[in-house]
Amino acid sequence: MTVRIAVFASGGGTNLQALLDHFGGGERGAEVALVVSDRPGAGALDRAARAGVTAHVVPVSGRPAAAVTADTLDVLDAVKSDMIALAGYVRLVPAEVVRRFAGRMVNVHPALLPAFGGKGMYGAHVHRAVLAAGCRVSGPTVHLVSERYDEGRILAQWPVPVLEDDTVERLAARVLRAEHALFPAAVEWLARVLAVARGEAREALDRALTERRGREAGFRLSANRETDVDGIRRMLGLD
């Protein structure tokens, strides 16, 4: 069964495009089934349209958290999403959505966590901080999503060298190339894990249903037999 991936993106969507390209052939057991953005003008929405993928805008700014949560869950449920990939999504995902998709939601971050993570650390802000700290290595991190920014379990990282003459733009471009290779591979790995887990759960359910049907059939057979009342009375010493 194909794992259905929902991708959240706030910007141009180059990591979304990497996922579309990776899963577009249909032979990897997963597909991008939904794109969600918080911004009506996000380039990610254009990429979704060109790929024929369902897309929705769920505005966040100035809205009650309960409304954002409800709208987000509605669009996820509408396409029967199995997992979520955050590809440049700069908003904190509502806590109820995180809990619903616990262990099934991943994010790609443009630094080697746990360094240079947290609220406000995205895009150029991250690379500027890396250069200011004098780091010689940076690179993307793929991690599970928790209810706090960039604190979920790390799944994969790709070290990228920081060169002496790097600018924010040059470092960002080098890290982004690594993101485009690492993120689809990590998402595919998690999708395969989920597919195996779902298959095992289905097998367990089928076994349980088969055993239950066997017990019910045995009960019906016993109930249909003619009861030997006299034999039961003798066994109990009533005669």
d(CA 188, CA 167): 32
Q: Considering the domain boundaries, does residue 74 fall inside one? A: yes
Q: Which of 107, 93, 97, 181 is nearest to 144 (CA)?
A: 107
Show the domain range for 153.
3-122+140-157+183-201
- Given pLDDT bands bounded at 50, 70 and 90, which one contains residue 1? confident
Label the pairing between strands 105-109 and 141-144: antiparallel
Q: Write down the catalytic residue from 109, 127, 143, 180.
A: 109
Kindly state the tokens that stand for 33. 């089934």
In sequence order, which residues have a C-beta less than 8 Å from that of residue 124 and are 6 or more positions away?
168, 172
Cα-based angle 94, 29, 198 (whole degrees, multiple of 5):
65
Helix (H, G, I), strand (E, B) or coil at 151: coil
Q: Which of 121, 7, 107 is nearest to 58 (CA)?
A: 7
d(CA 126, CA 117): 8
pLDDT of residue 11: 95
Kindly state the tokens that stand for 180. 């485009």
Q: Considering the domain boundaries, does residue 47 fall inside one? A: yes
Residues 34-88 pLDDT 10s: 999 999 999 999 999 999 999 999 999 999 999 999 999 999 999 999 999 999 9
How is residue 38 annotated by DSSP? S
Q: Considering the domain boundaries, does residue 64 fall inside one? A: yes
125 is known as an active-site residue: no
Q: Considering the domain boundaries, does residue 178 fall inside one? A: no
Strand partners, 8: 36, 86
Residues 104-152 pLDDT 10s: 999 999 999 999 999 999 999 999 999 999 999 999 999 999 999 999 9
Looking up residue 76, the CATH number of its domain turns out to be 3.40.50.170
Q: For the chain, how many structural domains are there in total?
A: 1
Helix H or strand E encompassing 226: none
Taking each helix axis from N to C terminus, what angle separates 14-23 and 43-51, rounded to the nearest 10 degrees?
A: 20
pLDDT of residue 115: 97
- CB 11 within 8 Å of CB 86: no
Virtual CA dihedral for 121, 127, 132, 138, nearest 10 degrees? 110
d(CA 239, CA 236): 8
Handedness of CA 70, 73, 75, 79 (dihedral sign): negative
